[in-house]
Amino acid sequence: MPKVLISDDLSPAAVAIFKARGVDVDVKTGLKKDELLKIIGDYDGLAVRSATKADKDVIAAAANLKVIGRAGIGVDNIDIPAATAKGVVVMNTPFGNAITTAEHAIALLFAAARQIGAADVSTQAGKWEKNRFNGVELYAKTLGVVGCGNIGSLVAERALGLKMKVIAYDPFLSPERAMEIGVEKVEFEDILKRSDFITMHTPLTEKTKNLFSAEALAKTKKGVIIVNAARGGLVDESALRAALESGHVAAAAFDVFAVEPAKENVLFGAPNFTATPHLGASTTEAQENVALQVAEQMSDYLVTGAVTNALNMPSITAEEAPKLKPFAALAEKLGQFAGQIADDGLEAVEIEYEGEVAALNVKPLTAAALAGLLRPMLQDVNMVSAPAILKERGVALTESKRQTSPTYDSLVRIKAKTGGSWRTLAGAVIAGQPKIVEVKSMALEAAFAPVMLYVNNSDKPGFIGALGTMLGEAKINIATFNLGRVAAGEDAIALVGVDQVVPDDILAKLKALPQVRYVKVLRF
Lay out the sheet containing 273-275: strands in order across.
184-185, 165-169, 142-146, 197-200, 224-228, 249-254, 273-275
Residue 63's domain comprises 3-95+285-304
At 68 the pLDDT is 97
My answer on whether 269 and 222 are in the same domain is yes
My answer on whether 255 and 328 are in the same domain is no
309 by DSSP, 3-state: which?
A: coil
27: CB partners within 8 A, 6+ apart: 6, 10, 15
pLDDT in tens, 229-287: 999 999 999 999 999 999 999 999 999 999 999 999 999 999 999 999 999 988 888 88
In a domain, 486, yes or no: yes
Q: Residue 404 belongs to a domain with what CATH number?
A: 3.30.1330.90
At 389 the pLDDT is 83
At 379 the pLDDT is 66
What amino acid is encoded at 3 in this protein?
A: K
Q: Residue 490 belongs to a domain with what CATH number?
A: 3.30.70.260
My answer on whether 122 and 222 are in the same domain is yes
466 by DSSP, 3-state: which?
A: helix
In a domain, 76, yes or no: yes
Beta strand segments in 229-382, E? 249-254, 273-275, 348-355
* Catalytic hit among 187, 245, 260, 392: 260
My answer on whether 55 and 147 are in the same domain is no
CA-CA-CA-CA dihedral for 302, 306, 307, 309, to nearest 10:
-110
305: pLDDT strictly greater than 90: no
To the query of whether residue 231 is one of the catalytic residues in this protein, the response is yes
pLDDT in tens, 462-504: 888 988 898 998 899 999 999 999 888 788 999 999 998 888 8
* Catalytic hit among 231, 375, 423, 485: 231
In a domain, 55, yes or no: yes
* Catalytic hit among 104, 201, 278, 375: 278
My answer on whether 325 and 421 are in the same domain is yes
Examine residue 203 and say whether the peptide bond preceding it is cis (omega within 30 degrees of 0).
no
My answer on whether 119 and 253 are in the same domain is yes
My answer on whether 295 and 347 are in the same domain is no
CB atoms inside a 10 Å sphere around CB 516: 18
Residue that terminates a domain, selected from 397, 426, 448: 448
In a domain, 463, yes or no: yes
Q: How far is Cα 337 from Cα 373, in angstroms, rounded to an integer?
A: 7
Contact call for residues 274 and 253 (beta carbons, < 8 A): yes
Between 523 and 380, name the one with better pLDDT.
523
Contact call for residues 497 and 479 (beta carbons, < 8 A): yes
Q: How far is Cα 459 from Cα 494, in angstroms, rounded to an integer?
A: 10
Q: How far is Cα 206 from Cα 308, in angstroms, rounded to an integer?
A: 26
3-state secondary structure 357-417: HHHCCCHHHHHHHHHHHHHHHHCCCCCCHHHHHHHHCCCEEEEEEECCCCCCCEEEEEEEE
Residue that terminates a domain, selected from 256, 275, 294: 275
Reported pTM: 0.64
Q: Residue 265 belongs to a domain with what CATH number?
A: 3.40.50.720
To the query of whether residue 248 is one of the catalytic residues in this protein, the response is no
In a domain, 138, yes or no: yes
520 bridge partner residues: 454
pLDDT in tens, 91-122: 998 788 889 999 999 999 999 999 999 999 99
CB atoms inside a 10 Å sphere around CB 418: 18
Between 384 and 477, name the one with better pLDDT.
477
Give the side-chain half-sphere CA count within 13 A for 208.
Answer: 18
**Cα end-to-end distance, the chain, whole Å:** 26
Judged on CB neighbours under 10 Å (0-12, 13-18, 19+), 145 is buried
My answer on whether 429 and 453 are in the same domain is no
My answer on whether 164 and 232 are in the same domain is yes
pLDDT in tens, 67-99: 999 998 878 899 998 998 888 999 998 788 889
In a domain, 309, yes or no: no
Residue that terminates a domain, selected from 275, 296, 323: 275
My answer on whether 198 and 230 are in the same domain is yes
CB atoms inside a 10 Å sphere around CB 398: 10
500 by DSSP, 3-state: which?
A: coil
| Structural domains of the chain, count | 4
Q: Which residues in 99-114 are b (16+ Cβ under 10 Å) and which e? A: bbbbbbbbbbbebbbb
My answer on whether 433 and 502 are in the same domain is no
Percent of the chain with pLDDT over 70: 100
DSSP symbols for 108-164: HHHHHHHTHHHHHHHHHTT---TTT------TTPEEEEE--SHHHHHHHHHHHHTT-
Q: How far is Cα 255 from Cα 513, in angstroms, rounded to an integer?
A: 75
324 by DSSP, 3-state: which?
A: helix
My answer on whether 266 and 123 are in the same domain is yes
What band does 359 get if pLDDT is binned at 50, 70 and 90? very high
pLDDT in tens, 124-177: 999 999 989 999 999 999 999 999 988 999 999 999 999 999 999 998 888 888
Between 287 and 349, name the one with better pLDDT.
349
Q: What is the mean pLDDT of residues 6-32?
A: 93
To the query of whether residue 278 is one of the catalytic residues in this protein, the response is yes
Percent of the chain with pLDDT over 90: 72
In a domain, 280, yes or no: no
In a domain, 75, yes or no: yes
Q: What is the mean pLDDT of residues 359-372?
A: 92
